[in-house]
Chains A and B, each alone.
Chain A
Amino acid sequence: MSKIYNDSYIYCPKLATHRTLDGFSANSVHHLSQLYFCPSCQAHKSRYDCYHNIECKFCSHCITDYSHTSNDTQRCAKNCFVCPSCTSSLTIFITDHQINGKLGKAFQFSCVYCTYTYQSGVITSPKSLHSIISSEKKEAQHQTFYKYQQQLSTASDAPVKQSETRLKNLSLSNISRTPDSPIDTLGPEDISEVRNRVEITTHPDHSNQYPVARKLTVKKSYKCLNCNTFLLLPHTEDGLLPTTNKLRVKFNAVDYMPSIKLTNTISPTILTTPPTETRNLQLECRRTFLINLMNPLEVDMKIHVGSLPYIADNFITGGNKLKFKVELSIPIPDIVIKSSGSTKNLIKTIPTACLTTKNTISKAELISRMGSALFKEKPEDTLDVSESSESLVAQGAGWSLIPLFISVQMNDETDTWDSSDLLDIKIPLYITVQAELPQAIKVLKLSKQNLSYGYWNVIDIGTYQVTK
């Protein structure tokens, strides 16, 4: 089950203490992978619920450590320059020159990706590249302002103020079209020349663009805004290479919160025919989906999955969303997901709904899990159809599948069904988690004895067509 490419988002109201869902906005939901988990508040934290501090800064190109420089240092002070047009690296060539009998050098910068080039002036005494470029930049600015000053100070060029009545009486006169404009005299043989001219004119003008020093890369520490607990702290000892990725403190949400994914039900014929995904919801007919829950902790996790009886309007987009009411029902909202800690075999930790038949290992595992369903005398349409609650749940090492029923109803009986009715549905689920404290939080010796938190999870199931 891919935790990187899934459509499950967690609602993060900025700095809210009571996490209530007040609408779906792309700015207020984040992927689980982008969140931190505060062990003290026992809540997830987005980047906006934290404040950060720069622990280390370095140039990724020359690996120079700038951690001990002033806060203003944001760019590499060595010869690492990037193109002002495309931010690619610049290569530097040196050419020898002679000015007034003195030997000098000029530097030519050329971009490795685009056509940008820059030629510095000739210098006769040693100077850093940064000071050469900054002095030339200043000189160019001075020249520009000097030109403006000259134009402004020329009194004769100032426009003559004319009276309003005179301006009104002005009329267009003596307008004649010059018959021999170059475009009229152009023959078909000159077309290629014109094309060349166009290419030359569209060529970017780099005359007033100077090489830019490379931006530094930073390593940040993050702290919770509520309780000031470190959520992420990198190792930044002297002598350690800046590109090292070791961390002193790490509280990522993926390590403490369950991963949730919605999948279709598993067809018993999956081993013989590849599954075909139907993107439709039949009107007044129940469709079953599977909620895949994965426990990242080394202890068992008690989860309650809550939902509203129907999906609110602001979670549905589509042409005629007001015509329909999408009802939700979770027959088994409470579940205990066992830890996958002792399981060494990775395939055992993948939920059945995410197994494929493309690989022999995955197929063998799928056969072993589906065996009982396959050899039934009358195979049912889906794996989950049964009256007893035990068979509605599939469980394994660190994962669990529970069903979710979705049905679409007409809001008003007078409304008419249309074959072009498409609904883009997002399902909000309230997840409550209870577990023993994991070892990484126990060592902090916080006052809380258990792990207990709740949050809104929004699952984007995509666009479905409503059929009759």
Chain B
Amino acid sequence: MWIETSTGNRIAKDAAISGPDNIVISGNCTIHPGASLHGDVTLLTPSTGPTILIGKYSHLNSNCQIIPPVLQDDKHGPVAIGAYCIVGHDTVVRLATIGNRVIIEDGCDLQNLSIIYDCCVIRKGTVVPPKMVIPPFSEVLGVPGTDFKVGELSNAYKKLIETEAKELQLQT
């Protein structure tokens, strides 16, 4: 069921990874069944760097989608997910950058070209609108136009999210 690499990555055989040559997964990451990584898109400015970069100890739960952001028509830009990030079930990630130590809970929709800085928690079912910048140590919840809110997150979460990501790697 799992493919385990020498760097400690665990990738489910059922995970849909397209364009693996354009994807870099750092050590100790877990990619669950049903997760899909779209690395086969055309970049607007072809570069030597990867289309999808995932930092160490990151955790992509089942049925989440990582889609590089659209810059122009069918041309995309690269997406970078930092270290110790947890992406929840059924979450769609279309944004440009996710910082280190970020928890994105289940059923979120992170829309085109948004940026999430370090140490943030995106609560269940949140919709992050396009081109939104979420500052460091923020808790985000709700849907824009109805109950969207960006609140302050305690500094203690820096350590807690890191431990959570490490424990998830050992326990799931």
Contacts and interface: CB of A to CB of B under 8 A. Distances in A.
B171 A358 contact: yes
* Size category of the binding interface on chain B: 20 to 34
Interface string A89-119: 1010000000000000000000011100000
Interface stretch (B11-19, B39-47, B77-85, B133-141): B133-141
Contacts of A91: 131
Interface string A221-233: 0000000000010
Nearest to A88: B129
Interface residues of A, number: 41
B172 A4 contact: no
Contact of B144 (A61, A86, A350): A86
A39 to B, nearest CB: 15
B160 interface: yes
Nearest to B169: A359
A87 B136 CA distance: 18
Nearest to A61: B133
A245 B158 contact: yes
A245 B137 contact: yes
Contact of A350 (B121, B145, B155, B167): B167
Interface string B104-135: 00000001000001110100000001111111
Interface string A1-13: 1111000000000
Interface string A320-350: 0000000000000000000000000011001
A247 B119 CA distance: 14
Nearest to A218: B152
A89 B145 contact: no
20 contacts: A4-B121, A4-B161, A32-B156, A35-B156, A61-B133, A83-B144, A85-B145, A88-B129, A88-B132, A112-B129, A112-B131, A114-B144, A220-B152, A232-B155, A245-B119, A254-B160, A346-B167, A354-B171, A356-B172, A358-B172
B170 A4 contact: no
Interface of A: 1-4, 32-35, 60-61, 83, 85-89, 91, 112-114, 217, 220, 232, 243, 245, 247, 250, 252-255, 346-347, 350, 354-356, 358-359, 361-362
B164 A243 contact: no
A3 B121 CA distance: 14
A114 B145 CA distance: 8
Interface string B148-172: 1000101111111101101100111
Contact of A87 (B148, B152, B159, B164): B148
B103 interface: yes
Given A113-B129, A114-B144, A250-B155, A243 B172 contact: no
Contact of A3 (B137, B148, B163): B163
Contacts of A4: 103, 121, 157, 160-161, 164
A307 B117 CA distance: 42
Nearest to A252: B156
Contacts of A114: 144-145
Q: Which of A3, A91, A113 has the most CB of B within 10 A?
A: A113
B170 A361 contact: yes
A2 B135 CA distance: 24
Interface in B55-69: none
A113 B166 contact: no
A217 B135 contact: yes
Contacts of A83: 144
Contacts of B167: 1-2, 346, 350
A4 B103 CA distance: 10
A114 B155 CA distance: 33
Nearest to A30: B154
Q: Which 9 A-B pairs have the closest CB atoms?
A: A86-B145, A88-B129, A60-B135, A113-B129, A86-B144, A252-B156, A217-B135, A112-B130, A89-B131
A243 B155 contact: no
Given A112-B129, A245-B119, A245-B136, 4 more contacts: A34-B156, A86-B129, A113-B145, A255-B159
B133 A33 contact: no
Given A34-B154, A113-B144, A232-B155, A350 B171 contact: yes
A34 B136 CA distance: 16
Contacts of B163: 3
